[in-house]
């Protein structure tokens, strides 16, 4: 739990610098079958800070709380803190994040999560189509979701 709180504190403190951008959003599952036994639940949230490297490329740090549900209605939670990179093309963008995903039952236990995405933004609103994949040795999960975000 200490690691997750520290990651969240770092994200919030970094936004105090003017050159950083910040957005918060809700994750909505998509009714797709991507050969998995789990899916993300609508109560999941993501936040992101980003810094421009160039007019088209941003460095990002994505943090969030992902709630997953198995086919048998059991749930588990992941807390993520994943750095990434994003390419901006006018109002569209695409990118990827890769980092640790901590399980709420045992915060010292983590998997690697990677999440490629594509999205569009207009004014202060962005919508991403995001693929979530977490893997830990023999255990893995993946799902598709839409992320609706507000850019601060």
Residue-wise DSSP of 88-151: EETTEEEEEEEEEEEESS-TT-EEEEEEEEEEEEETTEEEEEEEEEEEETTEEEEEEEEEEEEE
User: What pLDDT does 142 receive?
Assistant: 74
What is the reported pTM?
Answer: 0.78
Report, as an integer, the average pLDDT of 77-105: 89
Report, as an integer, the average pLDDT of 79-101: 93
User: What pLDDT does 107 receive?
Assistant: 52
Q: Is the pLDDT confidence value at 72 over 80?
A: no
Q: Is the pLDDT confidence value at 94 over 90?
A: yes
DSSP 44: -
d(C-alpha 141, C-alpha 135), whole Å: 7
Work out the mean pLDDT of the chain and round it to a whole number: 80
- Bridge partners (DSSP) listed for residue 49: 22, 61
User: What pLDDT does 106 receive?
Assistant: 56
Judging by DSSP bridges, how do beta strands 110-122 and 125-136 pair with one another?
antiparallel
């Amino acid at each position: 739990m200490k690691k997750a709180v520290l990651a969240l504190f770092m994200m919030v403190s970094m936004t105090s610098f003017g050159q950083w951008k910040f957005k918060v959003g809700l994750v909505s599952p998509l009714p797709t079958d991507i050969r998995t036994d789990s899916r993300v639940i609508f109560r999941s949230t993501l936040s992101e800070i980003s810094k421009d490297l160039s007019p088209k490329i941003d460095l990002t740090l994505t943090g969030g709380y992902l709630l997953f549900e198995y086919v048998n209605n059991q749930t588990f939670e992941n807390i993520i803190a994943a750095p990434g990179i994003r390419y901006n093309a006018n109002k569209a963008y695409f990118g990827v994040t890769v980092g640790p995903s901590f399980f709420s039952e045992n915060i010292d236990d983590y998997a690697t999560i990677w999440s490629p995405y594509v999205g569009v933004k207009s004014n202060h609103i962005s919508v991403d189509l995001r693929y979530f994949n977490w893997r830990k040795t023999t255990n893995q999960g993946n799902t598709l979701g839409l992320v609706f975000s507000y850019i601060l």
